[in-house]
Amino acid sequence: MIQLIHFRLCPKSRSIRLALAELRIDVELKDERPWEWRQEFVRLNPAGEVPVLVEEDGRPICGAYAISEYLAEAGGHVQEEGGLFPGDRERRAEARRLVDWFQGKLDREATEVLLEGRLYSRLKAGASGAPDAETLRNARTNLRYHMRYLDHLSEERDWLSGPEMSFADLCAASQISCLDYLGEIDWSDQGFARQWYARMKSRPSLRAILSERVPGAPAPPAHYADPDF
Amino acid sequence: MIQLIHFRLCPKSRSIRLALAELRIDVELKDERPWEWRQEFVRLNPAGEVPVLVEEDGRPICGAYAISEYLAEAGGHVQEEGGLFPGDRERRAEARRLVDWFQGKLDREATEVLLEGRLYSRLKAGASGAPDAETLRNARTNLRYHMRYLDHLSEERDWLSGPEMSFADLCAASQISCLDYLGEIDWSDQGFARQWYARMKSRPSLRAILSERVPGAPAPPAHYADPDF
């Protein structure tokens, strides 16, 4: 069986878990703490990062970008219907712009800092260099800006990148779910984003992830797994 | 005619310029200084980042990820020969792993810091927060590690991701060329990487870029544009 090496509170790992579940591809999950730099793992992915998809013949596909495009290419042709990047070439470009926005910009400007400061620094033995108070404050300011953008997209469109769900929705939901685990999302001002996330939360792919607990991490807030939040 | 909005010393802009030249697609270049957050530019790309490809009907394709996949999809099918991601699905996954390595990891760990500290901080009026000496020192340490990896890939393979040139080579050459502009690359220890870069430098696509000067920036070292360096 295909394996996915992942960390349960890594948003990029979550985006690939969602993609696999939406595409109905069964995988065996293997937990990895990438910051431990296990030799066997680094041999698979010299970048030392999750997620890594391991094919049945042992070949690794490394990183959310390579894996998502690899999954999208199954069958050898660009899929105009269903799949991770539905629609024509322009619509797929819009989905990819937003994948980059959520996995890149939102992650860099908010999620990564808050996960590092609030969670990873607790899980890593002898961790040093946790973000200081000002860095955390800046990340929260950035997050408010990102939530307004998510709200704007949710108001304008059925799904974030257009009329059909795409990998952009899965990437956004992955980021938001990790931030929500930390209690960092203020849902009171985000009517449209909230409706979009409620729809995401009702999907079996995300429900499975939200029902998990993460060993060593504090419990999430009560609304975290509740579709009626 | 298609337009490419870019900044001449932005590695991601360079990767798309190389891709367009290798695919023989003519574009009109428009210079942008993204840190000025020009309203007209931010309306095209809310992320405020270059590169942006503007189609003849005015539609923007934003960011190196969306643009490269958009160009690779021209014709509506995955191209197994030539193009930005040649070969089968596994070979394309390997090219994308390395695109992520160079545009992501190398950029974040070295290029971005050195460009910011040595160049952008001079170009930006009233810039604040230039990286300190320790940050620059760490970026140079990371760069030595990346150059060893580039040397290793160049020794093992004809091109960085396999037997044919791919977008991974264009991304690596874009990063290296910006670092080389700053005189940050020590070529003395990098025999195989040097041979690979000499081949890249002899291609008309990169030659055109290396022959340019950047207004407001210091001149590059003498070997910068020379294929026999």
Q: Which residues of B touch A156 (CB under 8 A)?
A: none
The structure tokens 């680094």 sit at: A42
CA distances (Å), A68 to each of A125, A213, B23, in order? Answer: 32, 25, 24
- Residue ranges of alpha helices (H) inside A34-190 are 39-44, 64-72, 89-99, 112-115, 121-123, 133-156, 167-181
Q: Is B149 on the interface with A (CB under 8 A)?
A: yes
Instruction: Return d(Cα B11, Cα A96) in angstroms, integer.
Output: 19
Whether residue B146 lies within 8 A of chain A, CB to CB, comes out as no
Name which of A53-57, B37-41, B121-125 the model is least confident about.
B121-125
Q: What is the pLDDT of residue A216?
A: 85
Query: Do the chains contact at A89 and B100, CB–CB below 8 Å?
Result: no
> Confidence band (pLDDT; 50, 70, 90) for B215?
confident
More confident residue, B160 or B229: B160
| A61 contact residues in B (CB cutoff 8 A) | 90, 93, 97
Global pTM?
0.96
Inter-chain residue contact B90 with A59, CB threshold 8 Å: yes
Q: What is the pLDDT of residues B128-179, one digit of tens each?
A: 667 889 999 999 999 999 999 999 999 999 999 999 999 999 999 999 999 9
Bond prior to A11 in cis (omega within 30° of 0): no
Q: Which of residues 166-225 of B touch A (CB under 8 A)?
A: none
Cβ–Cβ contact B99 with A under 8 A: yes
Contact criterion met (CB < 8 Å) for B70 and A92: yes
Segment B67-72 shows an average pLDDT of 96
Q: What is the dihedral of CA B105, B195, B183, B18, to 10 degrees?
A: -60
Q: What is the pLDDT of residue B128?
A: 63
Q: What is the pLDDT of residue B25?
A: 94
Q: Using the beta-carbon criterion (under 8 Å), do A97 and B61 form an inter-chain contact? A: yes
pLDDT at B106: 98
Task: Report the candidate in A148, A162, A141 with the shortest Cα–Cα distance to residue A194.
Answer: A148
Residue B214 has a pLDDT of 87
Q: What would the two tokens of residue A172 be?
A: 């956004």
Residue A43 contacts B where some CB pair is shorter than 8 Å: no
pLDDT at B35: 92
The string of pLDDT tens digits covering residues A56-104 is 999 999 999 999 999 998 865 556 667 999 999 999 999 999 999 999 9
Task: Report the C-alpha gap between A66 and B145 in whole angstroms.
Answer: 23
Q: Are the Cβ atoms of B67 and A93 closer than 8 angstroms?
A: yes
What residues of chain A lie within 8 A of the CB of B76, using their CB?
78, 89
pLDDT at B78 over 60: no
Mutation pick from B55, B65, B142, B167 vs chain A, by most beta carbons of A within 10 Å, is B65
Residue A138's Cβ-count burial label (10 Å; 0-12, 13-18, 19+) is middle
Buried b (16+ CB within 10 A) or exposed e, A116-134: bbbbbeebeeeeeeebeee
Q: What is the ipTM of this complex?
A: 0.95
pLDDT of residue B81: 66
Band (pLDDT 50/70/90 cuts) for residue B77 is low
Contact between chains at A96 and B149 (C-beta distance less than 8 A): no
With a cut of 50, list the residues of chain A below it in pLDDT. none
CB contact under 8 A, A65 and B70: no
**Measured between CB atoms, which of A62, A97, A100 is closest to B97?**
A62
Residues from chain B that touch A73, judged by Cβ atoms under 8 A, are 78, 89, 92
Pairing of strands A60-62, A52-54: antiparallel
- Mean confidence (pLDDT) of chain B: 94
Beta bridge partner(s), residue A28: A3
The per-residue pLDDT for B124 is 82
**Strand-strand pairing, B28-31 and B3-6:** parallel
Chain A positions touching B67 (Cβ under 8 A) are 93
Q: Provide the shortest C-alpha distance from residue B66 to chain A (in Å).
A: 5
Model pLDDT, residue A229: 87
Q: Number of residue pairs across A and B with CB atoms under 8 Å?
A: 80
**Pick from A65, A67, A77: CB nearest B77:** A77
Are B69 and A93 in contact (CB < 8 Å)? yes
Amino acid at B127: A
3-state secondary structure of B81: coil
A2 and chain B: CB distance < 8 Å anywhere? no
Which residues of A are less than 8 Å from B100 in CB distance? 47, 62-63, 65-66
pLDDT for A79 equals 61
